[in-house]
Structure 1
Amino acid sequence: MSASPRTPIAITMGDPAGVGPEIVVRLACAPRAGDTPLLVIGDIKRLRGVADQLGLALTLFPIRHPDELGDRGLTPGQLAVLPAGEPLPPDLPWGRVDARAGAAAYAYVNRAIDLAFEGSISAIVTAPLNKAAMAAAGITYPGHTEILADRAGTQDFGMMLANDELRVMLVSIHLSLRQAIEAVTPARELRAIRLAARACHAYGIAEPRIAVAGLNPHAGEGGLFGDEDKAIIAPAIARARAEGIDASGPWPSDTVFMNARRGHFDAVVAQYHDQGLIPVKYLGVENGVNITVGLPFVRTSVDHGTAFDIAGTGRADPSSLFYALKQAEAMVRSGTEYRACGCNPAHG
């Protein structure tokens, strides 16, 4: 599963009814700093239709395997497309939940994972999928992260959201708030702290400072507003420190992100999905990237959803996809591996 910087990066098209096809086309037609060969796993007719609608000159090359690219990097206005799953119907509507689109998006991701396992691609960059569309197709995964982790056969994984100002690791990901509170356990806390430190090392930070956000208001105020912070989170921080990780907290969540932006911490461990994503996305989804830590390959993603409200209108902003690709290229160049203990590529 090791790959060189000249091994192609695969971009999955995401839900075909969302903005994924448009942001992929816009990226393919724009100049970029990196020279890593690219390919898109998706539907060539959908991409062609978007390019025509936008009036963009885009030459699409159908391929069956990344080896067909050789060592060439396609120039702006050229894009290799590798199909997966069933061809999309020509009448697939934009901006609507559709089981056919959900099944296609799932097929694109699985094909990318297969290629990553065999070493034919150096990283996976994902455009957004739609959870309701996947559910309509009978696919029960709540998101990309869980698909990737299940296929990799690892429980030691996490989602980090990052931009130029913040790095945030989540203790739990796609759970209801009630379930997220129940997921605050010593083991999950320690895992998130370790993964946050590992991700910081990938960014070249030798001795990362990890801040852990509290679960309750004022981090529990000594037990006045709940005892999870004192009874569960604090002991996990102490365990991490005993392992040599510079972890601290739990800090009140209403100030810890601000202090991280000011340079006091290198990453923040957030206790649940919205606690961590709101501050990152408030700073702008166009410069955000979603990184799955703990996989045996590099995976980054845009920091936004399928945006059904603007899908098919030509108004999608590809900035987050550019940033996700930039981060993936940097990780590939550094030789970083997000390899988790017990990871079994044959799983799934």
Structure 2
Amino acid sequence: MVGWIGICLGDVTGIGPEVTLKALAAEAGADDTRYLLIGDAGLLQKLNQGLNLNLDFHPYSGPRNGGRIFVHDLMPGALPENLKPGAPEAANAAVAWLKDATQRCLNHELDGMITAPVNKESIIRAGHAFVGQTEFISNMAGADRSAMMLLGHDDRDRWLRVVLATTHVPLKAVSEKLTQAKVELAIERAAQSCVDLGLPRARVAVCGLNPHAGEGGELGTEEITVVTPAVEACKRKNLDVHGPFPADALFHYVFKGDYDVVVAMYHDQGLVPLKMIGFENGINWTLGLPFIRTSPDHGTAYNIAGRGIANPSSMIAAIRLAKQLARRKP
């Protein structure tokens, strides 16, 4: 049984609050999970009415509250209405809500947390040192061995799961930042994720960094000096890991079902194919935290915010994954 799942609303000038409420309307009746929404109570009530969702909110005063959906509004006052996209007030609130949800997970008040999208640029402009929500949460949790997984499926329920060896790194710096230790960590987290998901096997495929996986050193040597040693080290730990393979061909075989999860060397190498097949239902899952954290795999979508047309599929998938993981938690 799942107890409490926290959802922080992210940037309220984007579609986060909308997809959160739409997802709860679709998912709340599936089981007895209780949800704590961390965000602006007035905005949520107005949006609830505007979207005709008829969700029943309760103010949160502790885990013994009666009800299913609760709101914790920790800001000293309501956010101004009609904020411009990426407004500093929205950025500051998003960071405060993220910090609150993370701390509640660390205090074991929540079984897991889901983060709605934020805008990194607006958070940085508002004066925060910020790389991304994954990094922020990992730093707060003291989890220096976390990894980012993205997963999604196509309309035939064929899944693609990708773990990144490097995350938000400029392309020109990937080779410098890529180390054997990072590749080993990504492989280990990828294998463990299959166990956490209850998959019958944990067969990991590893991408090369260079075209054709380096062509034996003719197109780059990282496969020889970094990636292959990491793969061999993980084989010695009895992990079912294979590669490095040329990335342009590998995803075809992964999608056929030959492998369960891919380790990609850099952001776009892994996420372009993932978003190709799972754009509307992709999920970001942070591996290696002491608690569950998922998020929808999309941004703030300022261009459609406030129009009531945002697709909640990715948020629904993030909620479902968080609950699935919580049920399997020891």
Q: Same fold by TM-score, threshold 0.5 exceeded? A: yes
Partner of 1:10: 6
Q: Which residue of 2 aligns with 1:251?
A: 245
Instruction: List runs of 5+ in structure 1 lacking aligned partners.
Output: 337-348
Equivalent residue number for residue 156 of structure 2: none
Tell me if 1:139 matches 2:128: yes
User: In 2 relative to 1, CA 205–25 (structure 1 residues): closer, same or farther, beyond 3 Å?
Assistant: closer
Please say which of residues 120-129 and 277-286 is displaced more in the overlay. 277-286
Query: Does the Cα contact within 8 Å between 1:86 and 1:104 map onto a contact in 2?
Result: no
For residues 330 and 205 of structure 1, the distance between their equivalents in structure 2, rounded to whole angstroms, comes to 12
Q: Does 1:176 align with 2:173?
A: no
Match of 1:34 in 2: 31
Determine the structure 1 residue equivalent to 2:263. Answer: 269
Aligned mates of 1:7, 1:205 — CA distance in 2 = 23
Question: Superposition pairs for residues 98-177 of structure 1, below 5 Å?
Answer: 98-164=87-153, 165-177=159-171
1:92 to partner: Cα distance = 4.0
Counterparts of 1:148 and 1:126, CA distance in 2:
10
Distance 1:227 1:49 in 2: 57
Structure 2 CA distance for aligned equivalents of residues 316 and 6 of structure 1: 27
* Aligned partner (choices 282, 288, 292) of residue 282 of structure 2: 288
Q: What's 1:54 paired with?
A: 51
Deviates more, 1:192-201 or 1:80-89: 80-89
The residue aligned with 1:299 is 293
Question: Is contact 2:2–2:326 with CA below 8 Å preserved after alignment?
Answer: no
The reply to whether residue 227 of structure 1 matches residue 216 of structure 2 is no
C-alpha displacement of 1:6: 4.2
2:46 & 2:121 partners in 1: Cα distance? 24
Q: Deviations over 1:13-56 (max 9, x none)?
A: 11111101101121233354232111211111111222233233
Query: RMSD of the alignment, in Å?
Result: 1.6
Task: Report what 1:83 is aligned to.
Answer: 73
CA apart distance, 1:289: 1.0
How far 1:206 moved relative to its partner? Answer: 5.2
Verify the 8 A CA contact 2:2 2:327 in the aligned structure 1. Answer: no
Distance in 2 of aligned mates of 1:178 and 1:110: 32
Tell me the number of residue pairs that the alignment of Structure 1 and Structure 2 aligns.
324
Contact 2:11 2:86 survives alignment (8 Å): no
Amino acid at match of 1:281: K
Query: Is contact 2:2–2:323 with CA below 8 Å preserved after alignment?
Result: no
Secondary structure at the aligned position of 2:303 is classed as coil
Instruction: Name 1:346's counterpart in structure 2.
Output: none
Name stretches of at least 5 consecutive residues in structure 2 with no aligned partner.
154-158
Partners of 2:282 and 2:326 in 1: how far apart? 18
Which residue is equivalent to 2:16? 20
Structure 1 residue 199 and structure 2 residue 193: aligned? yes
Q: Following TM superposition, by how much is the alpha carbon of 1:100 offset from its aligned partner in structure 2, in angstroms?
A: 1.1
Output the CA distance in 2 between the equivalents of 1:306 and 1:46: 16
The percent of aligned pairs where both chains have the same amino acid is 38
- Are the equivalent residues in 2 in contact too, given 1:289–1:324 (CA < 8 A)? yes
1:259-313 CA-to-partner distances (Å, cap 9, x unmatched) read: 1110110100001111111111111332211110000001111011111111111
Q: Distance in 2 between matches of 1:123 and 1:258?
A: 33
1:181 positional shift: 2.3
Secondary structure, aligned partner of 1:18:
coil
Spell out, residue by residue over 1:183-204, the C-alpha distance to the aligned partner (whole angstroms, 9 max, x if none). 1111111111111111111112
Counterpart CA distance in 1 for 2:31 and 2:260 is 26
User: In structure 2, do the counterparts of structure 1 residues 126 and 218 end up closer, same or farther at CA, with 3 Å as the change threshold?
Assistant: same
